[in-house]
Chain A
Amino acid sequence: MLSDVELRVRALETVLVQKGYVDPAALDVLIETYETRVGPHNGARVVAKAWSDPAYRDWLLKDATAAIASLGYTGRQGEHMVAVANTPETHNMVVCTLCSCYPWPVLGLPPVWYKSAPYRSRAVMDPRGVLKDFGVTLPPEKQIKVWDSTAEIRYLVLPERPAGTEGWSEEKLATLVTRDSMIGTGLPKQPAEVAA
């Protein structure tokens, strides 16, 4: 049995197609794009390159929009990018308290929790409590910088490169980079966590 909202979306889509406002084939392409093509694997490639290539890292931190575009990731909800680097002293976390602003070209569509009231309400007040919900505890003296995306600037966290990855290829490094580590609600995987 279809729920009320399912029925309503179907009705709406039918009306829009009958009126010629939307091309049904375009809807399929849009869904396919965000279901399969655009996702955190894009951002992982950016991070892995920054970990491997100091000149790229500098470029990313100075002009993230251009550095990210050089890998082919541009456009909607990533028009103006800023990359913020985690360091031994500072951890960064990104939120949009007002809606669901998120860097689509590098991370895909936001997960449900990112758009949810618990995250949007608490990230700016109690980020350590939020991190606990993700099973992450940071040293108490570490500074936490929370970036509330209130305009059209989109933020990507550049996590710290895990120890024990010397000599790894970019492809292998990318397997350590998680979506949550690029939002700041998680940390990269450790070398032991990825299959050899």
Chain B
Amino acid sequence: MNGAADMGGMMGFGPVKPEPEDGPKFHAPWESRALAITLAMGATGQWNIDMSRSARESLPPPQYLAKSYYEIWLAGLEKLMAERGLVSADEIEAGRMLHPPKPLPRILKAGDVPAVLAKGSPTQREAPAPARFGIGDRVRAKNMHPTGHTRLPRYVRGHVGTVELVHGAHVFADAHAAGQGEQPQWLYTVRFKGTELWGESTDPTLWVSVDAWESYLEPAA
């Protein structure tokens, strides 16, 4: 969706504020708790990572832009849990369980954390068909504006680039976020010249790439 999360090319947010590498990892104790409960609830398997991203980016733009990143995570988590009847708003207000828990088949136990993190969730799958594009092919990012989750940023839509890498077939985020299964598709890194994206006055030394699933792309002359 064309939400506030799709920020490439927006203006007016001011300078980037670098932080020292040896500074604190969390800026308040609640941030570490928010991270941990988000990861632990994700491990219950009640939703996938694309559903998480979709829940966060579909926050109304004024809310998304006003929140810190861990606040966005929390809002997304609350939404995912409420949709599934796992935790409701009145319980968060009350600070205690008011409704019986739903049985969850998987709970992340402390002893399993290292193995679960080390395994991750690889997204590469067997290719359902031969790749449509190869390295060096000219492709156009489609002009499309899906109302659901998508990973094709607005700033490349309609623009022509060149296939730079072919990554094999990967779980298709748009379908996966919508609960339509994995529907793996070929994934490509597509490189665009800065002037193609931003106009002739742009720095001529700039190149920008995105990772794009096959259905985001069409052949360009």
Contact = CB atoms under 8 A, between A and B. Distances in A.
Contacts of B104: 20-21
B7 A79 contact: no
B123 A121 contact: no
A123 B202 CA distance: 13
Contacts of A151: 123, 151, 167, 170, 173, 187, 211-213
B30 A9 contact: yes
A175 interface: no
B41 A125 contact: no
A85 interface: no
B108 interface: yes
Given A8-B92, A33-B113, A99-B57, A27 B40 contact: yes
A111 to B, nearest CB: 5
A136 to B, nearest CB: 10
A88 interface: no
A21 B105 CA distance: 10
Given A19-B101, A27-B36, A75-B117, A150 B210 contact: yes
Contact of B119 (A75, A109, A141): A75
Interface of A: 3, 5-16, 18-23, 25-31, 33-35, 39-40, 74-80, 82, 97-100, 108-109, 111-113, 115-128, 130, 133-135, 140-153, 178-180, 185
15 contacts: A5-B71, A15-B91, A16-B41, A21-B87, A21-B101, A26-B110, A26-B112, A30-B113, A98-B8, A113-B17, A113-B19, A121-B13, A145-B208, A151-B170, A153-B167
